[in-house]
C-alpha cells in the first residue's frame, strides 16, 4: 500500500468531524510530499528541530502541529509558524508561548495535556490542576495563546477496557471545561493502534503515523 492509499483508506473511514494529524516524525520530505499531494495538510512532529528543518521545504499551506513534549527554551523556534501545540502541561510553558507569540504578533493555538494514564513516563496536568489554572488571573492575562481543547495519551497496554476508561475520562474532563470555556472544541486522543476506540469515546482529532507512512 502506498502512502496515498493508506491516507485515503483512513480518511474514508473517519467521521467528518474528525481531524487527521499525519505524524511524520523521522520521515523524509518525499514521504510528506506524497501525503501532501494526496490532500493531507496537517503534519505532526515531536521534535522542534525536525519541524524547523522541514517547515521551509514544504508548501506554505502546510499546517504544523507540535505533538511532543515541548521545552520552554525551544518555543521561540516554533513561534513564527506553528499552527497548534498539543502538549501544554504547565502555566510556565503557556506564559513562554504567549511571550513568543507577542513577539511575532500572533495568537498561537494550544491544547492542554491532561494526564489520563498512571504511567510515570507520560506528561500532563491533572484535571484539577488545569481547572485551577483556567481560573487564575495569570492564565486570563495571556492574550496571545488560545486554548482550544485538551490532549491525552492512553496507557501503553493491550487492555482495551483500560484504554476506553481513560479516553472516556478525558472526554468528561473536556465537557466540564467547555462549560466555562465555550471556545474549546478539540479532544485530541487516539493513535494508529486505538483511534477507532478514541473516536467512539469522543475524540475529534487523531494522530496517526505508522498506519500512513509505515512502521518506523
- The count of residues in the chain is 216
Which residue range(s) make up the domain with 156?
Answer: 3-213
Spatial distance between the Cα atoms of 181 and 28, rounded to a whole number of angstroms: 39
pLDDT tens for each residue of 62-114: 999 999 999 999 999 999 999 999 999 999 999 999 999 999 999 999 999 99
What local confidence, expressed as pLDDT, does residue 121 receive? 66
- The number of distinct structural domains making up the chain is 1
| HSE-up (13 A, CA, CB side) for residue 7 | 23
What local confidence, expressed as pLDDT, does residue 216 receive? 55
pLDDT tens for each residue of 38-59: 999 999 999 999 999 999 999 9
Calculate what percentage of the chain has a pLDDT beyond 90.
90
The helix (H) or strand (E) run that includes residue 88 is strand 84-88
pLDDT at 1 exceeding the cut of 80: no
CA angle 16, 22, 26 (to 5 degrees): 175
What local confidence, expressed as pLDDT, does residue 13 receive? 94
Which set of grid coordinates corresponds to residue 26?
A: 523521522
Residue 138's domain is classified under what CATH number?
Answer: 3.20.20.10
Q: Are 151 and 86 in contact (CB under 8 A)?
A: yes
Spatial distance between the Cα atoms of 66 and 40, rounded to a whole number of angstroms: 16
pLDDT tens for each residue of 158-214: 899 999 999 999 999 999 999 888 889 999 999 988 999 999 999 999 999 999 998
Amino acid at each position: 500500500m502506498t502512502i496515498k492509499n493508506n491516507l485515503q483508506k483512513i480518511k474514508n473511514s473517519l467521521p467528518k468531524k474528525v481531524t487527521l494529524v499525519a505524524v511524520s516524525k523521522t520521515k523524509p520530505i518525499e514521504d510528506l510530499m506524497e501525503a501532501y499531494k494526496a490532500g493531507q495538510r496537517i503534519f505532526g512532529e515531536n521534535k522542534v528541530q525536525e519541524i524547523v528543518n522541514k517547515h521551509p521545504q514544504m508548501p506554505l499551506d502546510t499546517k504544523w502541529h507540535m505533538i511532543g513534549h515541548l521545552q520552554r527554551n525551544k518555543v521561540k523556534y516554533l513561534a513564527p509558524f506553528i499552527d497548534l501545540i498539543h502538549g501544554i502541561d504547565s502555566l510556565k510553558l503557556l506564559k513562554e508561548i504567549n511571550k513568543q507569540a507577542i513577539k511575532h504578533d500572533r495568537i498561537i493555538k494550544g491544547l492542554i495535556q491532561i494526564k489520563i494514564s498512571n504511567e510515570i513516563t507520560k506528561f500532563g496536568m491533572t484535571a484539577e490542576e488545569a481547572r485551577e489554572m483556567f481560573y487564575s488571573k495569570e492564565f486570563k492575562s495571556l492574550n496571545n495563546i488560545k486554548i482550544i481543547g485538551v490532549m491525552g495519551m492512553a496507557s501503553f497496554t493491550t487492555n482495551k477496557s483500560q484504554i476506553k476508561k481513560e479516553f472516556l475520562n478525558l472526554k468528561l474532563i473536556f465537557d466540564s471545561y467547555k462549560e466555562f470555556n465555550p471556545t474549546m472544541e478539540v479532544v485530541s486522543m487516539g493513535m494508529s493502534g486505538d483511534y477507532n476506540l478514541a473516536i467512539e469515546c469522543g475524540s475529534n482529532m487523531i494522530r496517526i503515523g505508522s498506519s500512513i507512512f509505515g512502521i518506523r
